[in-house]
Amino acid sequence: MQTDDLQNEDARVAYEAIMDAIVTQKLAPSQKVSENILSDMFGISRTVARNLIERLIAKHFLVSVSPRVTIVAPLTLLDIKQNFTLRKMLLPSIFSLTGPRADFEKLHRLNREIEAMKAMKDDETALAFLKKNKEMNLALCENVGYPLMLDWVRQLEDIAMRIYWLYLKTEQGLPYSSEQQGMTIDVMKSDEPGRIKTVIHDMLAQTEERILATIFRNEQFYTQDLRL
């Protein structure tokens, strides 16, 4: 369920704050959560907390392990491989369908904004950087014309935020450059579906390899959950 479905501004703000906490691991993978914990952390009522827990379980960011225990969804190597496998299946097709219908002026603007945000002084600026990157990725898909596809992409991009956070905090950047993003935009202008699919698939494969290499290279990730 999307944040647009949340019924009031307080709930929307709380939802975004909880999602940010999951991405930045202020709510760590496999950490126990409850109505009381969320109410205390985010200054919301237990009723709002209960509703948000239900929504986040439905979106697989929280997991109900028993009637009385809910945890933040684990973050493992399998989750990374699953996310990239699904994105390599879905995104090349979506980008090839979007092709020249994309809003290229918007895409170039977002790419310039991302390039200007490279200096990440703290978690707040790093998170803003990741959100702008997600906005860019969603903008690449927004004119595909298939609402269900866009729902899937949003879900995968939200999960990818958790993955990219590991890389961003470890390497102080994304596993691909704004120049590569610019190349993606230029390829989409070509309106050559086969070429678009190949370029997008290869870029996702390279991104996955870089993220996995960083994880294997750092002993702090030698645990079941990938925690910073």
Is residue 57 domain-resident? yes
Same domain assignment for residues 126 and 49: no
Is residue 227 domain-resident? no
Round to whole Å and give the CA distance between 187 and 36. Answer: 49
Is residue 226 domain-resident? no
> Which runs of E-coded beta strand occur in 113-197?
none
Of 116, 110, 104, 118, which is closest to residue 186 (Cα–Cα)?
Answer: 104
Amino acid code (one letter) for 96 = S
The total number of structural domains in the chain stands at: 2
Round to whole Å and give the CA distance between 20 and 23. Answer: 5
Mean pLDDT, contiguous 10-residue spans, the chain (228 residues): 58 94 97 96 93 95 93 96 97 92 93 86 92 94 93 96 95 88 89 93 96 95 91
Which pLDDT score is estimated for 207? 96
Which pLDDT score is estimated for 111? 92
Q: Give the CATH number for residue 106.
A: 1.20.120.530
Which residues contact residue 41 at a Cβ distance below 8 angstroms, ignoring those fewer than 6 apart? 21, 27
Same domain assignment for residues 97 and 67: no
Is the pTM higher than 0.75? The answer reads yes
Which pLDDT score is estimated for 89? 96
Which pLDDT score is estimated for 6? 58
Which residues contact residue 186 at a Cβ distance below 8 angstroms, ignoring those fewer than 6 apart? none
Helix (H, G, I), strand (E, B) or coil at 176: coil
By the 8 A CB rule, do 11 and 48 touch? yes
Same domain assignment for residues 185 and 100: yes
Query: Domain ends where: 21, 39, 72?
Result: 72
Q: Give the CATH number for residue 17.
A: 1.10.10.10
Round to whole Å and give the CA distance between 34 and 227. Answer: 21
Alpha helices in the chain (DSSP H): 9-23, 35-42, 46-58, 77-98, 104-116, 123-141, 147-171, 178-189, 193-217
The token duo for 55 is 């929504």
Is residue 53 domain-resident? yes
- Residue 41's domain spans which residues? 3-72
Which pLDDT score is estimated for 58? 95
Query: Domain ends where: 23, 56, 72?
Result: 72
Which pLDDT score is estimated for 64? 95
Which pLDDT score is estimated for 199? 93
Same domain assignment for residues 42 and 83: no
Which pLDDT score is estimated for 2? 43
